[in-house]
Amino acid sequence: MFDGITIQDVSVNVDALLTNERLTFGTLVDGQTGVILNPVRKAYDRGLTFRLVPRKTGKGYRVEVKGSLHKFFNGGLHNADQYTANDLLLTLDQLATEYGFNLFDSVINNIEFGVNVELPFPVAKVLANLICYKNQPFAVDSHSSIPYYVCDRQRYVVKMYDKGKQKGLAANVLRFEIRVRKMRYFDGKGVRLHTLVDLLNVANYGPLGVLLVNTFNNILFDDPAIDTKNLNTDQRHIYQQGRNPRYWHTPENLTVKQAATHRQRLSRNKNRFRALLDQYGSNWQLEVAAFVRQTWDQLTTVDDQLLTRIDQHKSTWQNLSKPYTLNGFAVSEYSEETVINEGATCHKLTDFTPPVCHELTAPPTPSLSQINPLYSGVPCDSNQPDQSCSDLSDLQQKQGVAVCPVTGITIESPRPRQRFISITQIKNLARTNRQMFNALADRFLTGKQAGAVFEKRCYYIAHNIRNTYANQFNNPLRRLKKYQRSIEGQLPLLSTSQVIKPTERIQAGIDYRKGTGYEIIF
């Protein structure tokens, strides 16, 4: 079933990992000077490697986990037996309960799926007769004690080896697997694998089994049972050429037209080669493919009782990932920080109202309506009653803070002229305040965007926040710029301000663009 996995940014409490009794994080230090040579800290547990990688923002760590789920389930000893859907359920439960993984938000970057197939004949018969896969020959991994045969494609790797020989088993066990390097490999294949909890999506198991069997059937094998004496001259020529892996290669020095012609010829000859195998061979490849199909079906069989347990565990894990409250404030259990961001709990994205909102306690300035782009949705606290929120925003930036005018979220250490919450801050919010992140996602993501990967969702949220603000006056400003372009190079009789009387909304857009490359001279 599933085996190797890589998650580059696990949704988990870093402080809890550092104090977990099963993990001891070390780092590379110069023995003489004590200087840290590599800031990345590593720990190992039962076949999994944990890496704490400092974030580029300088705040906190990114948790990366890589290793074998199958081996982890077996206590780190081996992955040579059968790994079932029930075993997978117990594995994920350990990750959620022992380490605090948020299985719903931990995005999978690489995954392996495959089977350990017990054959009635030596595995060497399969490996020794490998020719190619999609006209690409298999390479042998020279770094392993036993031969690993791999065909490296752009998005995935087809891999097989003698698992019985590797583990010293008496049985003939073939390991056949697909290692997905880019999750786009699953696009259009009926498989949805995004986060860890998706590994228990039973609807994926059928399409994954089809992928596995079809991939094995598409491999070109030789068959030593064929006696060339039974072949005519033309058949013998096709067979001798086809069993040579180099024959299926398309030379790189061909023109586009020549390459297309060459591939068409190879396709015809491949069909003729397979016809020879079917007619004169022993059809052992079909036998192995049947074992692959049978083994996968046995591993992924889910009865009603197991399905009920899966649903119960999912509900439990969901509750583990929900924020709890402290003194009336929501606090995420998967936060890297223990200090509550009070400024981020004082606006309309939350379902509760804190008893005191500290700096943001004065009523909104009456002169600004809520449709005005300068209105942030957050009351301004100023000793000067005539001071606008825009002036206050500039003042806050000078003081090292700012407030996003759309969401009202406090922006600490903003960049010069930064007004909106950034992608990086949204990613951090997903870990430090899950409730607020979900509220942002519900408000600013469309249907297709909501189904994107985590990185893309954060990008869309930030992008749509800026659009929400700018779209209030973009169309009027486009008309204004169009008018200016139409009179460019001419001596106008009247100034633009005399022709077009800006509304409060248009004037706000003009003021917003002052000093930028999009400034409108009005």
Q: Are residues 80 and 221 in the same domain?
A: yes
Q: Which pair of structure tokens corresponds to residue 349?
A: 């994205």
Q: Are residues 218 and 155 in the same domain?
A: yes
| DSSP E strand boundaries for 2-106 | 2-7, 26-29, 36-45, 48-54, 61-68
d(C-alpha 98, C-alpha 492), whole Å:
74
Q: How far, rounded to the nearest angstrom, does the alpha carbon of residue 42 sit from its chain's CA centroid?
A: 22
| List of residues 6+ apart from 479 with CB closer than 8 A | none
**Single-letter code of the amino acid located at 486:** S
Q: Which pair of structure tokens corresponds to residue 216?
A: 């094995």
Q: Please write down the long-range contacts of 357-360, taking CB distance under 8 Å and 24 or more positions apart.
A: none
Q: Is the pTM of this model over 0.95?
A: no
What does DSSP assign to residue 407? T
The secondary element (H helix, E strand) that includes residue 403 is strand 401-403
- Could you count the other beta carbons within 10 Å of the beta carbon of residue 365? 17
* Spatial contact of 446 and 475, defined as CB atoms under 8 Å apart: no
Q: Are residues 294 and 382 in the same domain?
A: no
pLDDT at 422: 87
* Spatial contact of 406 and 463, defined as CB atoms under 8 Å apart: no
Q: Are residues 49 and 15 in the same domain?
A: yes
b/e map 88-99, b = 16+ CB within 10 Å: bbebbeebbeeb
Q: Per the domain annotation, does 258 fall within a domain?
A: no
Q: What is the mean pLDDT of each run of 10 residues along the chain (522 residues)?
A: 94 89 80 72 92 85 94 92 95 93 94 96 94 93 83 94 91 96 93 95 95 96 90 92 91 89 93 92 92 96 93 87 44 38 38 37 35 34 41 50 81 78 85 82 81 82 82 56 53 51 66 63 59
d(C-alpha 329, C-alpha 350), whole Å:
10
Q: Per the domain annotation, does 479 fall within a domain?
A: no
CA distances to 376, 394, 479, 489 from 398, rounded to whole Å, are 18, 6, 34, 40
Q: Per the domain annotation, does 183 fall within a domain?
A: yes
Q: Per the domain annotation, does 260 fall within a domain?
A: no
Query: Domain boundary at 457, 472, 487, which?
Result: 472
* Spatial contact of 465 and 421, defined as CB atoms under 8 Å apart: yes
**Cα four-point dihedral sign 144, 149, 152, 157:** negative
pLDDT at 502: 66
Query: What's the number of domains the chain is made of?
Result: 2
**Cα four-point dihedral sign 143, 149, 152, 157:** negative
Q: Are residues 291 and 348 in the same domain?
A: no
Q: Are residues 108 and 133 in the same domain?
A: yes
Q: Are residues 80 and 143 in the same domain?
A: yes
Q: Per the domain annotation, does 288 fall within a domain?
A: yes
**Single-letter code of the amino acid located at 5:** I
* Spatial contact of 131 and 243, defined as CB atoms under 8 Å apart: yes
- Among candidates 53, 62, 54, 13, which has minimal Cα distance to 427? 62
Q: Are residues 452 and 387 in the same domain?
A: yes
pLDDT at 374: 34
Q: Per the domain annotation, does 292 fall within a domain?
A: yes
pLDDT at 373: 33
Q: Are residues 51 and 107 in the same domain?
A: yes
- Boundaries of domain holding 97: 2-225+282-318
- Among candidates 135, 171, 127, 140, which has minimal Cα distance to 288? 127
d(C-alpha 380, C-alpha 365), whole Å:
7
pLDDT at 145: 78
Q: What is the length of the chain?
A: 522
Rg from Cα positions in the chain: 31
Q: Residue for token digits 């299985």?
A: 103
Q: Per the domain annotation, does 457 fall within a domain?
A: yes
Phi, then psi, of 159 in degrees rounded to 5? -140, 140
pLDDT at 415: 77
Q: Which pair of structure tokens corresponds to residue 17?
A: 């990992």
Query: Domain boundary at 298, 318, 338, which?
Result: 318
Q: Are residues 34 and 181 in the same domain?
A: yes
CA distances to 179, 191, 474 from 4, rounded to whole Å, are 8, 18, 49
* Spatial contact of 301 and 85, defined as CB atoms under 8 Å apart: yes
- Could you count the other beta carbons within 10 Å of the beta carbon of residue 235? 18
The interaxial angle of helices 304-321 and 85-98, nearest 10 deg, is 20
pLDDT at 152: 93
CA distances to 24, 251, 461 from 99, rounded to whole Å, are 13, 51, 29
pLDDT at 370: 33
Q: Per the domain annotation, does 178 fall within a domain?
A: yes
Residue 135 zone, left/alpha/beta (φ > 0; ψ -120 to 50; rest): left
Degrees, nearest 5: CA angle 67-72-78: 95
- Could you count the other beta carbons within 10 Å of the beta carbon of residue 37? 9
pLDDT at 339: 34
Q: Are residues 50 and 8 in the same domain?
A: yes
b/e map 471-509, b = 16+ CB within 10 Å: ebbeebbeebeeeeeeeeeeeeeeeeeeebebeebbebb
pLDDT at 322: 58
Query: Domain boundary at 472, 488, 505, which?
Result: 472
Q: Are residues 52 and 183 in the same domain?
A: yes
- Among candidates 142, 183, 280, which has minimal Cα distance to 223? 280
- Among candidates 188, 161, 165, which has minimal Cα distance to 176? 161
CA distances to 130, 335, 365, 416, 442 from 349, rounded to whole Å, are 59, 18, 21, 26, 10
* Spatial contact of 429 and 422, defined as CB atoms under 8 Å apart: no
The interaxial angle of helices 434-444 and 423-432, nearest 10 deg, is 130
Is residue 2 packed enough to be buried (19+ CB in 10 Å), middle (13-18) or exposed (0-12)? buried
